[in-house]
Structure 1
């Protein structure tokens, strides 16, 4: 880790894994949570605990507003994007269900599906993508069967950067009564998202990438009515209805057993506030300009092979390439 005075000299190129540096407000919020507040969320009524509760609620409201969710209680906090996707897949799918997904998915979708195919009699169809990384919505439509319960699609690839047409896919999923899960790990905070306009039933994302929060934070948006089908994958204390042995049915408690990552969530609220202040559209335009500059520069280098769309407006800022004759690990 470089010394603070050297931070400005470091060119960081690993934002697909986690964003860095964070806005100063994020560091301040995390430090205040740990040094000053020192309280859990939803477990007390004293001054510091009340401030923590307000901070967690603020994070929930800001994320709901960012994705145009009508009810902030439908924003469920998890430990990361993988945790969110596992809750969505393990909580929704039953024996005999069929899933339509794509070959462009992250292992956070592919591995849970592999497990469910082996142990829960779930079947899946993997729709191919073209050379640029795009999936044809018609191919997804044609893969639907009378047993299809879920369509799961990555919004933006962490390999090619290609942004998929989720609004089109969501429209026909809604028309067929099929649940629609979007993996927004690489897009939330980078690309404008509207869960209602895109007919998204569940949207999973980490808090530490485009939302600029700390590691150890994630979100799962659960659309209206989905909670009737989505079983919680763990049970435990929620700070509410403690006299009952049954897991609460109300949101978000149904899916949020155990203590929250308070420093992470207060830092996440600060990160989302930064995104709101600058605007997703502006942030995307700035990133597209830098991405196009990088694409054009790499394309001019002999023996460089680029992956993904050449048009920066059709992709996010993830740029993958290889150089003939060099192992990618050595090049990195």
Structure 2
């Protein structure tokens, strides 16, 4: 196959942002990504500022980068408002915060498939102590599909959880179709996006996503210990966080008021302080994705992975990743029997 048109200078990108590519070809983004040079520089400058100007760190660094993080996250996901965006430390932390805040009813049901990474399984399994049934169904085409949901959903189904791109096979979920199904059936739709942000466009409004979490170290190309949580305002305002700190409350500026009423939207999940250097890396990487064009990145990386699948099959490898480009992301998994 011919590669999709390239809308940006790949060689210049490697030269300017990823110096490790001068020495070898890096293929391990599904585990941990290299930082773009601009992200490394921004994080280093933040740390240097703290070392030399600690008295001004909050006003000159923390507040501005926090607001930039909210706006860049909102823009990238097409969220309605910035208070639907919240910094987190990891995908697990984000999904746990939400799972523990939903006001479950005895007999509520969560549905997910049997190839999910544990970060998108354990937070839901933990709700069994509240009488929630977690139904794990065999994957179809390597992921969760509407066809599966049509067979499995009941009147008790409260939430559907899926990875936008599966960590092991690279199978890509049809988020538009799943989101529309959930909207029609009044079911919460939760997405683990750690293998997708940066690789493919995600529009939480068009896809009817209610909850989305992504750690920073994979396709987001940021530091570990930082990430992004989205919770739709209408869903968030019905949740009661199990972990709360002053930054997540209405009276966060009045320390002796002791008013635990949570902030509106996803900001109710900001129970602690922020990984400031990490926020800088998220912001810079999101800006890089916007400069390159999300659709352009998606077309190019999908074309590369499709080409890899073709060549692996030609050489006798067994490819576990779905072949058709609409069914796979940039991850390619294969095996070879000697």
Tell me the TM-score range normalised by the shorter chain. Answer: 0.7 to 0.9
Select the residue among 213, 216, 219 that pairs with 1:207: 216
Residues 310 and 138 of structure 1: is their aligned pair in 2 closer, same or farther, counting only changes over 3 Å? closer
Aligned to 1:24: 37
Quick one: distance in 1 between partners of 2:191 and 2:202?
A: 11
Select the residue among 98, 106, 110 that pairs with 2:117: 106
Per-residue deviation at 1:95?
A: 4.5
Give the TM-score normalised by the residue count of structure 2.
0.86
Query: Is 1:148 aligned to 2:161, yes or no?
Result: no
Quick one: distance in 2 between partners of 1:144 and 1:7?
A: 46
CA RMSD of aligned residues (A): 2.3
Query: Is 1:75 aligned to 2:118, yes or no?
Result: no
Write out the 4+ residue segments of structure 1 that deviate beyond 3 Å after TM superposition. 4-7, 37-40, 44-48
Per-residue deviation at 1:225?
A: 1.3
Give the TM-score normalised by the residue count of structure 1.
0.87
Query: Is 1:317 aligned to 2:330, yes or no?
Result: yes
2:84 touches 2:267 (CA, 8 Å); kept in 1? no
Quick one: distance in 1 between partners of 2:126 and 2:25?
A: 39
Per-residue deviation at 1:49?
A: 2.4
Per-residue deviation at 1:281?
A: 0.8
Residues 55 and 6 of structure 1: is their aligned pair in 2 closer, same or farther, counting only changes over 3 Å? closer
Task: Give the gaps of 5 or more residues in structure 2.
Answer: 1-17
Aligned to 1:63: 73
Aligned to 1:330: none
Residues 6 and 86 of structure 1: is their aligned pair in 2 closer, same or farther, counting only changes over 3 Å? closer
Task: Report how many aligned residue pairs link the two structures.
Answer: 315
Quick one: distance in 1 between partners of 2:300 and 2:43?
A: 27
Residues 163-182 of structure 1: pairs in structure 2 closer than 5 A: 163-182=172-191
Per-residue deviation at 1:7?
A: 5.7
Aligned to 1:291: 305
SS at match of 1:151: strand
Per-residue deviation at 1:162?
A: 1.3
Per-residue deviation at 1:138?
A: 2.6
Task: Give the gaps of 5 or more residues in structure 1.
Answer: 326-332
Residues 198-237 of structure 1: pairs in structure 2 closer than 5 A: 198-237=207-246
SS at match of 2:218: coil
Quick one: distance in 2 between partners of 1:5 and 1:153?
A: 34
